[in-house]
Amino acid sequence: MTNTALITGASSGIGLELAKIHASKGGNLVLVARSKSKLNALKEELEALHNIHVDVIVLDLSQPGSAQALFEQTTVRGLQIDTLINNAGFGGHGKFHERSLSDDQAMMQVNMVTLTNLTHLYLQGMVARNQGKILNVSSTASFMPGPLQAVYYATKSYVTSLAKQWQKKSKRTM
């Protein structure tokens, strides 16, 4: 049985590298990001190198409702997600009172709200199958306050806390 991993923020950085690792082990992928051209280039590369199947979903995860839209797209396509990698995220720099509130709200949407919603939506099937894995990518920034990046550090603290609490609970229930 092929292991299908859904990776958010897959067009660059850690997400791109995790996609390459998963593909090298023979796993199929669902790649999610905003950059259609980058995702399609990665799809072509990984399918050619590893003889796997890659689905591309172009989506802006900073938009409310994006997690539900992503879940519905994978459901309509008949994709069973065995591994969810919540990697999408971004930061910002500057004094809190001088930064754009809308920029910080978009950061909170991606880094916390969409991540939480995706975890909840895909965990349902994993629990029902008694099988699945979720990786919520955080940062060392989650362990301390950071200068000129208050909201970023706070969102990463949330991710780390959620993963620890959920992990403890899931071991008891799965």
| 3-class DSSP string for 31-69 | EEECCHHHHHHHHHHHHHHHCCCEEEEECCCCCCCHHHH
Q: Is residue 145 part of a domain?
A: yes
Q: Are residues 127 and 145 in the same domain?
A: no
Region class of 65: left (phi > 0), else alpha (psi between -120 and 50), else beta: left
Q: Are residues 9 and 46 in the same domain?
A: yes
What separation in angstroms does the CA of 9 have from each of 30, 37, 41, 71, 128?
Answer: 11, 14, 14, 15, 26
Q: Are residues 80 and 156 in the same domain?
A: no
Pair 84, 5: CB distance under 8 Å: yes
Mean pLDDT of successive 10-residue segments in the chain (174 residues)?
91 97 98 98 98 98 98 98 96 94 97 97 96 88 81 88 69 46
| Annotated catalytic residue 158 | no
Q: Are residues 124 and 154 in the same domain?
A: no
User: Into how many domains does the chain fold?
Assistant: 2
Q: Are residues 131 and 171 in the same domain?
A: no
Q: Is residue 65 part of a domain?
A: yes
pLDDT at position 167, please? Answer: 60
Residues of the domain holding 160: 138-174
Rounded Cα gap, residues 135 and 7, in angstroms: 9
Q: Are residues 39 and 118 in the same domain?
A: yes
Q: Which CATH number characterizes residue 115's domain?
A: 3.40.50.720
The residue among 112, 25, 122 whose CA lies nearest residue 68 is 122
Which one from 122, 152, 153, 158 is the annotated catalytic residue? 152
